[in-house]
Amino acid sequence: MFNKSSTGRSTFAKIVAIAMLCFAVGGAFAQKQTTIRMAWWGGETRHKATVAAAEAFMKKYPNITVKTEYQGWEGYYDKLITQLAAGTGPDIFQFAIAWFGDFQKNPEMFADIKKVPGLDIGGWTQTSFDYSTLVGKTIGLPLGANGRILVYNKTLADKLGIKIDGYLTWETFAKTIKEARAKDPSVIGYSGTMDQYGYPLISWLVQKTGKPYISAGAEFGFTEKDFAEGLEMFKGWFADGTFQTLEKTVLLKASWSDPDWLNGKVLFSETPVTQITQHLKYKYEVGFTRYPVIAGAKLTGVEIGPNLMFCVNAKTKDMDAVVKLANFLNTDPEGAKLMALERGVPTNKQAYDVLVKNGMIDNVTKIAMKLIDDTDTGKFSYFDPVEVRDLLHTALQQVGLKGNVSADAAAKEFYTKASKVLKNFK
Amino acid sequence: MSSLTKHNRVAYLYIAPWLIGFFCLTLVPFVSTFVFSFTDYSVLRPPTFVGLANYVKMFTEDDLFPKSLWVTTKYVFISVPLKLAFALLVAIILNKNIKGIGLYRTIYYMPSIFGGSVALSILWRMLFQGDGFINRLLATVGIMGPDWLGDQRFSLITISLLQVWQFGSSMVLFLAALKQVPEYLYEAARIDGAGKLRIFRSITLPLITPIVFFNLVMQTVNAFQSFTTAFVITSGGPLHSTYLYAILLYDNAFKYFKMGYASALSWVLFMILMVVTGFLFKSSSSWMHYMDTES
């Protein structure tokens, strides 16, 4: 059946096949094994999605091991900055725009994204990159479009016959809560962590003054009197039940962990858009609306835009592996699908297109995006040093906890101490 | 002579792990913090010499310094006596000849094995939070408990109790001391008609004062440096009512990245502990008794 020449061809083909296999195997072994570290903070769904993406990446690039280091918000920054300072920082890490102030004099710790060879940055617009630019250097790959919005218990509102139509002003926000509490005094108007009381106060201050909370030159955009006025308003709300009793929430470390919120007794809280999926798991239905805004305000004081980013450690020992990982997470169809909406709607066009094509941008997200679009009144510089934030929390506790300081005294203390802190950033 | 040198070498080799650890992890940081305490050091930038500025700031500008010191002093005064009293009480009970005493001793020592761990602190927070186990328990008898941790009036006492709960190591030392008290003294006292309280006051307590002193010094030093419990449970809040000195130190070092200032704070704490310990040593001569000097 087989002639000599065909047998010879067959033998030759086998040898070639074996040789190719040997080369392939040998080639794989020849590829340098490397390990890179990736760090981020977030909730459970973000952790799962990112770990899954890292695993998919390792399957695609078996010679690269990605060591994932993830945790909640609390303590992430302290750990990261200590590691970076000690030269043991992760190779790629999630970073927030709010921390830019600390690195104004040290941008050399971050790789210049626009100068990293092989990094696919074509999917981002310059507007997006503006958010990740620190003293003229692009230090991060902007992630999802983000912004803070109000979340409310729709089931409770419906039960009480309260309609939350259109956008709220601070007056209608308080009036809505008053109306709800008139119908059921056990209802709590608003609850959150200290940060979640701080954000609305900052927002109100910016709306009132039309100036950033803290300017790029490290100056407050408001006066001590403005601050006292805001604190007085909040003090009243803590006292009359518009806000949850501060004793119950002052020590909360995680957002939306107030048992009253989880049990459906609270009408409002606030949330970044990147976390909206968290709210779809409650026993009750939620709705979303815009942050309250003073009519005619020039700025809403709400942080809008891609405030999260992935940064690359300038001291990474394997930039090539980091580039591959960054490209996979942000622009590869498989990576983009796995990362999904866990850091908001991607600002990278390739990733965004993948999610649209796969029908992964749901209606809730679309509504949330519309809300932040409607809140956006231009880029809002959100310079927020940790020490000033702690002082803000102290001022809120002074007026919010029972039997404490007057709004004027708390404002004076905050303004004096925080102004001293800001001097270090000038 | 050469044999002695050889022996010395072997000895040094055996203690080398400890020596290396002591030099690298204790002595070098100890000296470094002293140097850094005279600098402005933000971690991200090289330190710059500022002389005594950090110490001056501590005593003239930073109102959290005296506040945290006051909170820590209250914490020490609440937790240390309570802990020692409780440890002694349990030790006295466990000094009885009852069946299964070994098991009881092990069980009572267990909380100290867990120490001031993060997990234990989280458990403590869950027990004492507004809708926690303690308040639910109180509710069953019609008492509406306060927010133990969120209310400034109770927060420090609540976290001090966790310190008391870790009484095991003091208890073991007390137990050992109790066992050293000669039985004939008790017999003589009983023959003379002394009651239990009198025996405790006149025989037991004086004879265990060296261990009381040791426990007092150790627990005072530990309490002044307490961190984990308050940090995990309250982060020093509400309104700095549980803001222990170690949290002030941590915040400045790892939250605000003022390493120079934090180093100065650590040296002041060291000096405070030296003074407190010195005071305890000095005062001990008036209340501590050694059996051999008494007899």
Band (A78; pLDDT cuts 50, 70, 90)? confident
Residues of chain A contacting B237 with CB distance shorter than 8 Å: 250-251, 397
Tokens of A388: 């000033």
Where residue A31 falls among pLDDT bands split at 50, 70, 90? low
Angstrom distance (rounded) from CA A190 to CA A201? 13
For residue B151, give the chain A residue with the closest CA: A247
Mean pLDDT, residues B116-125? 79
B7 CB-contact burial (10 Å; exposed 0-12 / middle 13-18 / buried 19+): exposed
Rounded mean pLDDT, B209-235? 93
Do residues A18 and A290 lie in contact, with contact meaning Cβ atoms separated by under 8 Å?
no
B291 pLDDT band (50/70/90 cuts)?
A: low
Are A404 and B147 within 8 A, CB to CB? Answer: no
Residue A359: HSE in the Cβ half-sphere, 13 Å Cα cutoff: 0
Average pLDDT, chain B: 89
CATH code at A148-302+385-425: 3.40.190.10
What pLDDT digit, counting tens, does each position of A58-68 carry? 999 999 999 99
Mean pLDDT along residues A362-371: 82
Contact B150 A251 (CB under 8 A): yes
pLDDT of B292 over the 80 cut:
no
- Read off the pTM: 0.84
Please give, rounded to a whole number of angstroms, the shortest distance from the CA of B32 to a CA of chain A.
Answer: 15
Q: Label residue A82 exposed, middle or buried (CB < 10 Å: 0-12, 13-18, 19+).
A: middle
Q: Which amino acid is at B220?
A: T
Cα B37 from chain centroid? 25
The residue written with tokens 């690359």 in the block is A312
pLDDT beyond 70 at A3: no
A254 burial (CB, 10 Å; 0-12 / 13-18 / 19+) is exposed
* pLDDT at res. A1: 38
Percent of chain B with pLDDT over 70: 96
Which 3 state secondary structure label does DSSP give B226? coil
Distances in Å between the Cα of A227 and the Cα atoms of A209, A385, A410, A411 are: 11, 17, 9, 6
pLDDT attached to residue A106: 78
Mean pLDDT of B230-257: 93
Average pLDDT of span B59-71 = 95
The H or E element that residue A35 is part of is: strand A34-41
Q: How many CA atoms lie within 13 A of B89 on its CB side?
A: 9
A386 touches chain B (CB under 8 A): yes
What residue has token string 């449970």?
Answer: B233
Domain boundaries A31-145+305-367, corresponding CATH code: 3.40.190.10
pLDDT tens string A269-328: 999 888 888 898 899 999 999 999 998 888 888 877 788 899 999 999 999 999 999 999
Least Cα distance to B76 among B200, B222, B215, B268 occurs for: B222
The per-residue pLDDT for range A200-228, each reduced to its tens digit, is 999 999 999 998 888 878 889 999 999 99
Q: How far apart are CA A325 and CA A110, in angstroms?
A: 17
Do A148-302+385-425 and A31-145+305-367 fall under one CATH topology? yes
Measured between beta carbons, the chain B residues lying within 8 angstroms of A195 are none
Q: Does A251 contact B254 at a Cβ distance shorter than 8 Å?
A: no
Asked if B239 lies within 8 A of A246 by C-beta distance, the reply is: no
Contact flag B238-A85 (C-beta cutoff 8 Å): no
Domains in chain B with CATH codes: 58-294 (1.10.3720.10)
Structure confidence by residue, pLDDT tens digits, B121-153: 888 888 888 888 999 999 998 888 888 999 999
CB within 8 Å of B262: residues ≥ 6 apart: B249, B250, B252, B253
Buried b / exposed e over A348-375, threshold 16 CB at 10 Å, is: bebbbebbeeeeebeebbeebbebbeeb
Closest alpha carbon to A93 in A112, A70, A64: A70
ipTM (interface predicted TM): 0.84
DSSP lists the bridge partners of residue A289 as A150
Domain segments of chain A: what residues? 31-145+305-367, 148-302+385-425
Tokens at residue B23, please?
A: 């030099």
The pLDDT of residue B294: 47
